[in-house]
Amino acid sequence: MISQPGSLLVVEDDGDVREFLADDLRARGYRTETSGSCGSAIGLLREQSFDVVLCDVHLPDGDGLSVLRWCQERRQRPSVILLTGYGTIENAVEAMRAGADDYLTKPVVDDQLAESLSRVMARRIDGPHMVSVPPVDPSPVGEMLVGRDPRMQQLFELVDTVARTRTTVLIQGESGTGKTLTARSIHDHSDRRDRPFVEVSCGALSETLLESELFGHVAGAFTGAVSDRPGRFRQADGGTLFLDEIDTASPALQVRLLRAIQDREFEPVGGGRTERVDVRLIVATNKDLEGLVREGEFREDLYYRVNVITLTQPPLRGRSIDIPLLVELYRERFANELGRPVADVDPAAMECLCEYHWPGNVRELVNVIERAVVLCRGEVIRLDDLPEAVRREEPRAEAANRLKSALADPERKLIVESLEAHGWNRQQSALSLGINRTTLYKKMKRHGIVAPAH
Ligand SMILES: Nc1ncnc2c1ncn2[C@@H]1O[C@H](COP(=O)(O)OP(=O)(O)O)[C@@H](O)[C@H]1O
Ligand SMILES: [Mg+2]
C-alpha cells in the first residue's frame, strides 16, 4: 500500500466541514492547505504544487468544476476529488464526465475520504494511464438496453460515462434485471470493445476450481492439472473481466481478488511467476453487498475496491412504462428468430403484461414473450397465450399491496420519529425501538428513509 504522504488542498466554503476534513487529513500525515473559494484555491495552486485537490462543487464565487478544469490544463496536474451534494446523481455523473479522478458525496463519513485518497494516490503512482478522461458527447447506449423509466435513463447515462473510464464498476440488482447486459454494454461502449469481454460467475464453481479459473494454474497444482493453463484474468488482458455473483466468493478468494485489483497482479494456483494484466473489472451481485459487509460476510476492503461506481438496476415492477417497449422488442426478435408471423399483442394481453409484478424481472418477461410467440395461433398475441400466473396476477397483487401498505405506514412513522428523537443516530434509535442496527438499516432502506442532508 501507499505509505508516503502527499500534499493536499481542501477547497470548501463551509468552515466546519473544511477544518474537519483538514484535521482528518493532517492526522493521516498529509501536508494539507485549505481554501474557501475558487479564486483563492487557484491562487494557491499557482504558487504550490499539490498531489490532490479535494474540492466542493458549490463555492461562493463559482463552481468546483472550474477548479477541476484549471487543474486539467496543467502539465503537472493534481488529481481532483470532487465533493458533491447528498445523493445527487447528476453531480456525480457530471463530476466523472468532467474528468474528476473520484467524487465523494457529502456528508463524508467513516473512511470514505481515506479510501478515495488511497485509490487516487495509487493511480498517480501507477502511471499516466488513469489520467483524466476527456469529456466527449454522450452517445446513446440504447441499442440493446431499452427503457424509458427515469431510473433507466439515469442508468444509461452512467453506463455511457463509466464506459470511457477504466474504473471498477459494481452492478447491483435483482436477478433478471439486466446486470449482465449492462456489463456487456459498458464494455461495448469502451475503448476496449475490440478486446475480450470475459464473464465468470463466482457462484457456479467450487472454491478451488474458481481460483484456478480466474488466476490459472501451473502443471501439477492439483490432481488433473496436467499442464499450465491461463486463467480468465489473463484471457481478459486489455479487455473487461465481468465477475458475476461476487457475493458468493469465499473468504480466501476475496483476499486474492483484493490483491489482484489493488496491485493488478496475481500468481497462478500452484505457484509460478507473478503475472500483471491490464483488465477493466466489472462485478455484479443480486445481494445487498453493503449489508453483507456489516454482517461480516464480505470483506470491507474489497467492498471499497469494487464499489468505486455503483450502478443499480431497478426491478421491472413499478417500471410499467418500460413493459410495452420490452414486449415489442422481444416479440419482434422471437417472431424473426422462430420464423413466426406474430405482428402484435392485443390490448387485453398488453394490459395484463403491464399489471403483472414480474418477480423474475426482464428475464421472466423475455421467457413469457418467447412462449407466447410459440403458442400464438394467429398474428396477434392474446390473453390465452400468456401463462396462468401472469393472467391471474391482478387481484392478488392488489390485495397484497393494500395489506403491505396498511402495515408499512405506521412502521415508517415510528422509525422516522425515533430517528428524529435521537438526532438520526441509528445505534440509539435501534436501541429505543428494540431492534438491532442491521434490522433498522434494512427497514430504513425498505421504507426509503434517508437522513436529511447537513
Ligand atoms: N433494459 C433491457 N432492455 C432489453 N433487454 C433487457 C433489458 N434488461 C434485461 N434484458 C434482458 O433480460 C434478460 C435478463 O438480463 P440479464 O442481464 O441476464 O439479467 P441479470 O444479469 O441481472 O440476471 C436478458 O435476456 C436481457 O437481454
Ligand atoms: Mg446475470
pLDDT of 200 over the 80 cut: yes
The reported pLDDT for the residue numbered 91 is 63
The reported pLDDT for the residue numbered 133 is 29
Average pLDDT over residues 238-258: 93
pLDDT of 197 over the 50 cut: yes
Handedness of CA 427, 431, 436, 442 (dihedral sign): negative
- Closest ligand 1 atom to the C-alpha of 313? 22
Give the burial class of 138: count Cβ atoms within 10 A of its Cβ; 0-12 exposed, 13-18 middle, 19 or more buried: middle
The residues placing their C-beta within 5 Å of ligand 2, an ion, are 179-180
pLDDT, averaged across the chain: 84
Residue nearest to atom 23 of ligand 1 (CA): 176
- DSSP category for residue 29: T
Average pLDDT over residues 133-160: 68
Helix, strand, coil percentages in the chain from 3-state DSSP, rounded to 5: 50, 15, 35
Q: State the Cα–Cα distance between residues 215 and 178, nearest whole angstrom.
A: 27
**pLDDT one-digit tens code per residue, 400-417:** 555 566 566 678 888 888
Average pLDDT over residues 300-328: 92
Q: Supply the pTM of this predicted model.
A: 0.60
Which ligand has the shortest distance to the CA of 178? 1
- Closest ligand 1 atom to the C-alpha of 178? 17
Domains of the chain as residue ranges with CATH = 7-130 (3.40.50.2300), 150-312 (3.40.50.300), 320-386 (1.10.8.60), 406-447 (1.10.10)
User: What pLDDT band is residue 128 in, cutting at 50, 70 and 90?
Assistant: very low
- For ligand 1, the distance from its centroid to the CA atom of residue 401, given in whole angstroms, is 26
Which ligand has the shortest distance to the CA of 370? 1
